Structure 1
Amino acid sequence: MNLSSSACSDEHPLSQQPTASNQVYLKRQDTFESNVRSYPRRLPFAIQSASGVWITDVEGNRYLDCLSGAGTLALGHNHPLIKDSLIRTLQTDLPLHTLDITTPVKDKFSEFMYHLLSTDTDEYCLQFCGPTGADAIEAAIKLAKKVTGRSAIISFSGGYHGMSHGALSVTGNLSAKAGIEALMGNVQFLPYPNEYRCAFGLPIEQSHQAHTHYFEHFLRDVESGVNKPAAVLLEVIQGEGGVNPAPIKWLQQVRKVTKELGILLIIDEVQTGFCRTGNWFAFEQSGIDPDIIVMSKAIGGGLPLALLGIKKQYDVWQAGNHSGTFRGNQLAMVSGLVTLEYLQQHNIAEQVQTLGQWFIAQLQQLQDSYPQIGHIRGRGLMIGVEMVDPTQPMSTDGSYPADGACASHLQTACFNNGLVIEKGGRYGSVLRFLPPLIISKQELTQALEKFKNALDIACASPPYAP
């Protein structure tokens, strides 16, 4: 390590104050940071400021943000209620680091969450985890094994649950696993239903029934080759996997079978939770009751926080069985509580449902003019647009081949047109809209116009023009 005065002097090329240029900041970032960074490769700018649904870079360019921190910023950037609450809290001398010792702030936050989760038939307790959703997934897996005394976990193709060792083991994406040997064993992947392309190559009307039958048969079959698992882990709507909503009847059957066989059902609501899909939680629409609910992202109001909601009969932890230094992020509980109260008081779930239906309908109208749009899906303000190659033959399920190159080209065109969106799904072929939940219809209309302009640019010439 060299921190001598000469190393930090004005003569050092990196000690100079950067000019107001995105490329200068990106070049410096390339010097400072590991190759592991990802978003700057697709969104090449340096952010100067942000407010609501808008981002301003260091060159003064403005972007409509339909990524919102991968769904973290439910109330958008720098919401005044959140800023004021954080400032007031900092002025009280509340300790910012309390491990898992309670405070009045934590007590109020916990009371809200306890009443939000618990019902007439199920009482949930809270487990504060480390600051990421991945740590909460790790805790959920460990708890399921501890409750059941079994070790196997059922997960699903296309699922994403984090990048830590156990979370990566139950994640479907293979590229993140490349070169990582000896991941957690006893993980069995099953096919996840998809509204557009079927793992069995079946038309949509037969696909859901086939997935439902296969899931139940697999768990009940004494010749399946897999011992009864401790838990089934799934996202009700796969986010990184391409915004794939699970059919309600399939979810209900998954819950029925897991209950009958004594298998815990873990629902990952890290991205879908807190009104993102038009309900407080995505699982609510199907009427199922998870045994463990994994929560992060929006729950902290933009700051790091992760929780489990655990049915009380499964709270078999002993003190310290799953600990973590930063379980007690007081500022995240402050901003989280402000966010939760705002969502409740302003009936954001219903607004999100209405806006999402309208936005999907507008996108479907665009689909009539752009054959490269293979499928539009999602719920609330969690929407995916799958790009395909319509010049190739259809599959037996009626889908065209996914076109990740077209999606990348379109994402770049959107960015150049002042619209920030992300990709996901197989081959990165799905463009994902995750705007702040407080976005207005007028702002969504602007997003739609920017997206259409990008389509005109990206799909007007070969190889993306049919």
Structure 2
Amino acid sequence: MNDLQWTTQELLEEAGKTILFTAHRPDVVMERGEGMYLWDTEGKSYLDFVGGWAVTCLGHSPVVLQEALAAQAAQLVNASPSFLNRPMVELASLLVQVSCFERVFFTSTGAEANESAIKLARKYGKIRRDGAHEIITMTNAFHGRTLAAMAATGKPQWETLFTPRMPGFKHVPYNDYEACAAAVDENTCAIMLELIQGEGGVVEAELEYVRKLRSLCDDKGILLIVDEIQTGLGRTGKLFAYEHYGIEPDIMTLAKGIGGGFPLSAMLTKEAYNIFEPGDQGGTYTGQPLGMAAGLAVVQTIVSGELSAQAQRLGDYLMGELRLIAGRYGLTKLRGKGLLVAFDLPGEYGPALVDHCRSIGLLVNAPKPATIRLMPALIVEEADIDRMVELLCSALDELKTETIQDDGRAAIAR
């Protein structure tokens, strides 16, 4: 069957028969995107304040990314990881210039970047800390879906998945310095954390907490790893979230926004930890030219366009508009930095609100039942925020008029 002739219903039926089930998805098939909007196969438009979970940082199908991919595809798609290629060197050089790091390793996904960080930390522990291999991570964290990344993740519901779990991780409460310090022993090689726990509901690491962790790592001779998969490259109002804290990590991981929608990630570290030997790390698609060209175009645009500052300005505007409606709808704990923002609802009806918003053309995310998260593209404008607030209010008003059945979501009073 020619897919160009398939109706939406036929596409949905075929998906139900052929795509491995891993998630509940609505009966919508997305077909194209431009700027802040997506369109489905029925021609309906959606104002996107999810952005592929903070991925489409330049909006959907930005011209700069189209041109970079087309030009590179016409020249060289893949030469194997056995060779250097021009955009690989250029992107690594740019990342080093704009960060506190000296070395870069490229991968395709955030989980791979975090796996690379875990490997590097264990290598460091083996050769410089008498075989230390344990990494301290935080409850409520999220580091990816590979087996090691899942073991590092602090989700209680994952503790029994795919057992036996990979050993070597200790979980301690987030923002609890004393608990973290008490967990450090002769087997510890690193502390790993998100500076803002995105999947955890946009929970920020406290300033003094992070600074104490940096000092603790220095005192004990262990590594500080920051997972900036979601926060990196302008999202929080600075190019990297660690800049808010006045510290320098030993290792940083990036993904999501680095490729503007193209699968790309990176692990960055200091020259002192340039300790891998041939065979320790690699991958078929590490540093492949097409991804490197995409990343180079995206990072150059973020830096030259000063999109970090724009994210700060528009994030302040977004927060201000949310404050104006908070009292009307009982919204609390407005929080976040830049264009990574969340708020809590008065009941556990986040999934229902997401559904209502989608039905009227707005995409938002509920990482927890009573939490809504907003992650618009860095190119968002005040008019887009105004429209988002208008649609959000319409969805909240609709929910006020109906009873939500008790399926894990609290009912809203009529």
With normalisation by structure 2, the TM-score equals 0.92
User: Which runs of 5 or more residues in structure 1 are unaligned?
Assistant: 1-9, 194-210, 220-225, 390-402
- Look up the SS of the partner of 2:143 in the other structure: coil
- Look up the SS of the partner of 1:331 in the other structure: helix
Over 3 Å counting, the alpha-carbon distance change for 1:289 and 1:180 in structure 2 is: same
Q: Is the 8 A contact 1:302 1:332 kept in 2?
A: no
The residue identity in structure 1 corresponding to 2:355 is: T
The correspondence of residues 5-84 of structure 1 with structure 2, limited to 5 A, is: 17-19=5-7, 21=8, 23-36=9-22, 38=23, 41-84=24-67
CA shift for structure 1 position 177: 4.5
The correspondence of residues 157-306 of structure 1 with structure 2, limited to 5 A, is: 157-193=139-175, 211-219=176-184, 227-306=186-265
CA deviation profile, 1:387-418 (whole Å, cap 9, x unmatched): 233xxxxxxxxxxxxx2xx1111111111111
The correspondence of residues 134-173 of structure 1 with structure 2, limited to 5 A, is: 134-149=111-126, 150-173=132-155
CA distance in structure 2 between the partners assigned to 1:336 and 1:272 by the alignment = 16
* RMSD (Å) for aligned C-alpha atoms: 1.9
Q: Does 1:464 align with 2:401?
A: no
The residue identity in structure 2 corresponding to 1:291 is: D
Q: Is the 8 A contact 1:414 1:421 kept in 2?
A: yes
- Look up the SS of the partner of 1:465 in the other structure: coil
**Match for residue 203 of structure 1?**
none
CA distance in structure 2 between the partners assigned to 1:368 and 1:100 by the alignment = 59
Q: Does 1:375 align with 2:323?
A: no
CA shift for structure 1 position 88: 2.0
**Match for residue 417 of structure 1?**
360
CA shift for structure 1 position 84: 1.6
CA deviation profile, 1:232-258 (whole Å, cap 9, x unmatched): 110000111111111111111111111
Over 3 Å counting, the alpha-carbon distance change for 1:98 and 1:440 in structure 2 is: same
**Match for residue 103 of structure 2?**
125
**Match for residue 90 of structure 1?**
73
Of 176-185 and 274-283, the range deviating more from structure 2 = 176-185
The correspondence of residues 303-314 of structure 1 with structure 2, limited to 5 A, is: 303-314=262-273
Q: Is the 8 A contact 1:101 1:328 kept in 2?
A: no
The residue identity in structure 2 corresponding to 1:137 is: N
Identity of matched residues, %: 28
**Match for residue 445 of structure 1?**
386
**Match for residue 207 of structure 1?**
none
Q: Is the 8 A contact 2:258 2:299 kept in 1?
A: yes
CA distance in structure 2 between the partners assigned to 1:236 and 1:133 by the alignment = 15
Over 3 Å counting, the alpha-carbon distance change for 1:249 and 1:307 in structure 2 is: same
CA distance in structure 2 between the partners assigned to 1:78 and 1:383 by the alignment = 23
User: Which runs of 5 or more residues in structure 2 are unaligned?
Assistant: 127-131, 404-410
CA shift for structure 1 position 63: 0.1
**Match for residue 395 of structure 2?**
454
- Look up the SS of the partner of 1:437 in the other structure: coil
CA deviation profile, 1:285-313 (whole Å, cap 9, x unmatched): 00111000011111123211121111111
CA shift for structure 1 position 270: 0.7
Q: Does 1:108 align with 2:90?
A: yes
The residue identity in structure 2 corresponding to 1:47 is: M
CA shift for structure 1 position 33: 0.9
Q: Is the 8 A contact 2:302 2:308 kept in 1?
A: yes
- Look up the SS of the partner of 2:155 in the other structure: coil
**Match for residue 398 of structure 1?**
none
CA shift for structure 1 position 174: 3.1
Q: Is the 8 A contact 2:139 2:171 kept in 1?
A: yes
CA distance in structure 2 between the partners assigned to 1:47 and 1:88 by the alignment = 26
Q: Is the 8 A contact 2:115 2:149 kept in 1?
A: yes
CA shift for structure 1 position 431: 1.4
CA distance in structure 2 between the partners assigned to 1:174 and 1:213 by the alignment = 21
Q: How many corresponding residue pairs? A: 402
With normalisation by structure 1, the TM-score equals 0.82
CA shift for structure 1 position 217: 4.2
CA distance in structure 1 between the partners assigned to 2:152 and 2:216 by the alignment = 20
Q: Is the 8 A contact 2:170 2:183 kept in 1?
A: no
CA distance in structure 2 between the partners assigned to 1:16 and 1:346 by the alignment = 38
CA distance in structure 1 between the partners assigned to 2:186 and 2:338 by the alignment = 37
Q: Is the 8 A contact 2:72 2:289 kept in 1?
A: no
CA distance in structure 1 between the partners assigned to 2:156 and 2:137 by the alignment = 14
The residue identity in structure 1 corresponding to 2:345 is: M
CA shift for structure 1 position 51: 0.4
- Look up the SS of the partner of 1:369 in the other structure: helix
Out of 408, 419, 422, the residue aligned to residue 351 of structure 2 is: 408
Q: Is the 8 A contact 1:161 1:171 kept in 2?
A: yes
CA distance in structure 2 between the partners assigned to 1:332 and 1:113 by the alignment = 14
CA distance in structure 1 between the partners assigned to 2:120 and 2:73 by the alignment = 35
Q: Does 1:332 align with 2:305?
A: no
